Structure formats: structure tokens, C-alpha cells
Structure 1
Amino acid sequence: MDTKELLKKVRQIEIKIKRRTNNLFLGEYHSSFKGRGMTFSEVRPYAIGDDVRSIDWNKTAQYSQPYVKTFEEERELSLILLVDISASQNFGTRKQLKKETVAEICASLAFSALGNNDKVGLILFSDEVELFLPPAKGRFHALRIIRELIEFEPKNAQTNLNKALKFLLQTQKRKSIVFILSDFTEINYAKSLNAAARQHDITGIRVYDEKEEILPDIGIVQFRDVETGALQIVNTSSKNVRNQHKVFYEKVRIQFKNNFNTAGADSLSIKTDDDYIKKLLHYFKHHHTT
């Protein structure tokens, strides 16, 4: 993709996402993720409806009329997008590739965070951490994140979520909002997820294509594992083979849900042809930080 085409694609995503993530979406994000606490703002005259517990008795005595202290939320939160860029993300049979859906979801989250004056950072991982953009604010930073999600070419094809979570803990010492976006076909990451969830507010988003979970009956076919490069002859006409394939992805789905539940973290699954804005809105309405 040349520079002109890349910038056009980034701009298209920005326009599409900003049109769909309206003020309601920004408000839901804000109420879903609370700041670090409340800080003193000002003292002003009492108005009907104010909480009497907020009355400043010193000012009230000084001016012979009631005054109240007001406070505002201290936000300055950091949103970290932890994104799987292994070879399995280059799959899609419906509306678009998994990686394209991931890019749009990340853009939605990034613009929502920036609209609430939060910082946004990006970690791209395969079986190594391949790119880290520290949390920052501003439209140009958000566009840089989108550009990397579209353009970045991973050096490695396989996946290692454990290394990515370890890197997260090493680089983010303060509590952050973390979204992990992957197909989660890797199985053994529960221990690392538990450790990360003790430090951060974590949500897993499993992005998948419906067709990859159903093996069609098309006879004897040679398949290549996109992550390992291994070749395998598969008899797709075998009902037993198709059932094994189905069982594997059912195990992935169940283990994904169980791993995040056990860690005390939230999770949601989004297909490549889903209305992901609707799913994110539902998530925000039901997610609240403690």
C-alpha cells in the first residue's frame, strides 16, 4: 500500500468511526471507566438541589449565606490496545478480514478515549512484541495508531499472548484500561492473564470469522497453517474430521470466556460482519470500574 492509498484508508476509517461514535458513545465510555478520584474544583453559592453535605461552613459563616464545595472527576486514564497481529488475523470470508475489523474497533476505542481526555497506547504482538506506542493524547496520535494497525507488517507469524502480557506489566506500572484483541486460538495464557488483571482493568475482545469455525465438506484438501507453515492433507468429507474441527473452536470459545471470568476480567466476542459499535455500546452500559 503506497502512502497516498494508506492515508486515504486512515481518513476513511476516521470519518466512519467518528460518524458512528456519537456523543452517546462517548458518554457511555466515560461512565464505564471512572477516573482515579475526585479533586476540589471551586466554592460557589448554594443552589436548590445541591447536597447539603457539600456545604462549606466557613464560607457560609463568612458571607452569611450558604456556599458549597464542588468537585470534578480526576481522569487522566490510559487506554492500552493490546493487539494480535499474527498471521491468523489475515482471514476473512464475510464483510472483511479479522485485522480490518480489529483496526476499526481499535479506532472506535481510541477516539472515545481521546474524546474523554484519556491517553491511548498501542502494543502489537505476534510471538514477540513487535511495536509499542506509549500512551499519548491527540488526534494525530490516534491516526498514527490506525495507520500502524493497517500498515504494520509483522516479522513473525505465530502468537504468544503470554509475552505480550508480561511486556504490558513491565511497561505500565499504573492501572490502565486494557483491551486485548485477538482470535484467542492460543490456549495457555490463563496464568499471565490473571497476573495482568490484578494490575489493570482488562477486557478481551475475540474477533473471529464465522466460516473459519465450520469446516466445509469439499473433499480431500491440502491446508497450510498460516502461523507455522505446516502442510496437512485433510479429508473434509469425513464427519469425524469436521466434528473435531468444530470441537476445537468450541473449546477456544469456552476457554476464552472461562479464562477472563476467572481473572475477574470482561470479555466479548465479535464476528467480522457484526455491528461492533452496537456490541461495544452494550458492553459500556454494563461495564463499570471499581
Structure 2
Amino acid sequence: MDTADLIKNVRRIEIKSRGLSNNIFAGEYHSAFKGRGMTFSEVREYQYGDDIRNIDWNVTARFNHPYVKIFEEERELTVMLLIDVSGSREFGTSFKYKKNIITEIAAVLSFSAIQNNDKIGVIFFSDKIEKFITPQKGRKHILHIIRQLISFTPDNRTTNIAEALRYLTNAIKKRCTAFVISDFMDDDFENALKIANQKHDVVALKIYDKRETEMPAVGLVKMKDAETDNYSWIDTSNKSVQEAYAQWWRDSDASTQAIFRKCGIDNTSIRTDEDYVKSLMYLFKKRM
């Protein structure tokens, strides 16, 4: 992709994602992802119904009249995006590849974060940590993230979600909200996910394509594994092959969902040919 095309794509994604963030997600994001706690704001005279535990005894003694401390939510968060850049993200059979949906969702979350004065950082991962972008604020930082989402080429193509989660746990010292955006085509990340969620607020966004759920009958086909580059000849018209594949998908998805439940992870699944806005809104409202 040349520079002109890159700039054009960055601008297109910025316009769309800023619009969604401003018009749709602003309130839901603010409500769904709370700050680290409550911080002192001011004192005022005691009013009927105030919690007596909030009485400021020093000020009360000074003025010989009860005063209470007023607290407000500490809104500033650090948001981390854990982006799967393995080979399987390049799959897609409708209008968009999985990587296109991942890019748009990451951009929307980024603009939602800075609109709420939160810092945003990114971890690109395959079977290793491909790139780490430190959390910062501001539009310039978001545009840098979008450029990387569009143009970044990983060294490796296989997946190790546990490695990304371990890196998050070690690299980010204070509690953050971490979105893991992946197709979750990996099966050994439960322990790392459990540990990461004890320290941080981890949210899983599973991206998949409808053709990954079932095999169409199109005859004998030479298929390539996007992560290992291995080729296999598959008779897609064979009923037993179709049923075995469909069963594999159901078992794999059920296993992933079971891991999310056991680890207490809020999550949603987003299909490439469906409106991801609805899925994100459902997730946000479920957290309120």
C-alpha cells in the first residue's frame, strides 16, 4: 500500500469511527467502563439524607456546623487493545476480511477512549509480541494507531494468546481495561486469561466469518492453512466431511465460551458480515 492509499484509508476509518464514537458509543462507553475509584472533589454543608460517614470532622469543628466531603468518580482509565495479527485474520468471504473489522473496532474503541480522556495503548501479537504502543492520549496518537492497524506486517503468522496476556500482566502495572480482539483460534490461554483478569478488566471480542462455521459444498478444493501455510485437498461435497467440520466449529466455539465463563470475562462474538455496532452496544449495556 502506497502512502496516498494509506492516508486515504486512515482518513476514511477516522471519519467513520469518530462518528460512531461521538454519536453512539459516548454514553455507553462512559457507563460501561468505570474509573479506578472515587476521588475527593470538595466539601459542602451537610444536607438531610447525606451519609454521615462522609462528614469532614475537621471542617465541621472549625465552623461549628456539619460539613460533608463530596467525591466524584475518577474517570481516567488506561485502555489496552490486544490485537491478533496472526495469519487467520486475513480470512473473509463477504465484503470484509476479519482484519478489516478488527481495524474498525479498534479505531472506534480508541476514539471512545480519548473522548473520555483515557489513555489508549496497543499490543500486536501473533505467537509472540509483534509490537507494543505505549498508552497515550490525543488524536495524533490515535491516528498513529490506525496507521499501524492498516499497514502493520507481522513477523510470524501463528497464534499465542497466552503470550499476549502474560505481556499485558507484566507490562501494565496499574489496573486497565484490556480488549482482546481475536478470532481466538487458540486453545491454551485459560490460565493466562484468568491471571490477567485478576489484575485488569479484560474484555474479549471474538471476530469470525460465517464460512468458518460451515463448509459449503463446492467439490474438491485445495485449501491453505493461513497460519502454517500447509495445503490440503478437501472434498467439500462429502457429507461426513461437512458434518465433521461443523461439529469441530461448534466444539471449538463452545470451548472458548466456557473459558470466558470460567474466567469471568465479558465478551461478544462479531461476524464479519454483520453490524458490529449492535454487538458492541449489547456488550456495553450488559456491563452497566
Scaled to the shorter chain, the TM-score interval is over 0.9
In structure 2, the CA distance between the partners of 1:202 and 1:217, relative to structure 1 (3 Å rule), is: same
Could you give the per-residue CA deviations for residues 104-127 of structure 1, whole angstroms, max 9, x where no partner exists? Answer: 111111111111111111001111
- 1:94 and 1:272 in contact (8 A); partners too: yes
Post-superposition Cα deviations, 1:196-222, rounded to whole Å, max 9, x if no partner, equal 122111111110110222211111111
Q: Match for residue 162 of structure 2? A: 162
- Deviations 1:150-200 (CA, angstroms, capped at 9, x unpaired): 110111111111211121112112211111111112122212212212211
CA deviations over 1:198-248 (Å, ceiling 9, x no partner): 211111111011022221111111111111111111111111111111111
**More moved, 123-132 vs 182-191:** 182-191
Q: Distance in 2 between matches of 1:126 and 1:205?
A: 16
CA RMSD across the alignment: 2.0
1:22-41 alignment to 2 at 5 Å? 22=22, 25-41=25-41
Amino acid at match of 1:262: K
Within 5 A, what are the aligned runs for 1:124-143?
124-143=124-143
Shift of 1:51: 3.2
Aligned mates of 2:24, 2:60 — CA distance in 1: 38
Shift of 1:62: 5.7
Contact 2:21 2:109 in 1 (8 A): no
Q: Percent identity?
A: 46
1:190–1:153 Cα change, 3 Å:
same
Alpha-carbon offset, residue 60 of structure 1: 6.1
Counterpart code for 1:194: K
Partner residue, 1:51? 50
Query: 1:48-197 to 2 correspondence within 5 Å?
Result: 51=50, 53=52, 54=54, 56=56, 59=59, 68-197=68-197
- Call closer, same or farther: CA 1:80–1:52 in 2, change over 3 Å: closer
Rounded Cα–Cα distance in structure 1 between residues aligned with 2:215 and 2:60: 74
Aligned match of 1:276: 276
- Between the aligned partners of 1:10 and 1:45, the Cα distance in structure 2 is 52
Conservation of the 8 A alpha-carbon contact between 1:21 and 1:277: no
- SS of the aligned residue for 1:22 comes to helix
Aligned residues between the structures: 287
Do the aligned partners of 1:184 and 1:252 also contact (CA within 8 Å) in 2? no
Unaligned stretches of 5+ in structure 1?
none
Q: Give 1:58 deviation, angstroms.
A: 5.8
Worse-matched range after superposition: 74-83 or 122-131: 74-83
CA–CA distance in structure 2, aligned partners of residues 44 and 246 of structure 1? 64
Asked whether the equivalents of residues 22 and 112 of structure 2 are also in contact (C-alpha less than 8 Å), the reply is no
TM-score normalised by length of structure 2: 0.92
Provide TM-score, normalisation by structure 1: 0.91
Q: Which residue of 2 aligns with 1:42?
A: 42
Change in CA separation of 1:205 and 1:52 when aligned onto 2, cut-off 3 Å = closer
Counting only pairs closer than 5 Å after superposition, residues 197-276 of structure 1 correspond to structure 2 as 197-276=197-276
Letter in 1 for 2:187: I
Matches of 2:194 and 2:66 in 1, distance apart? Answer: 50
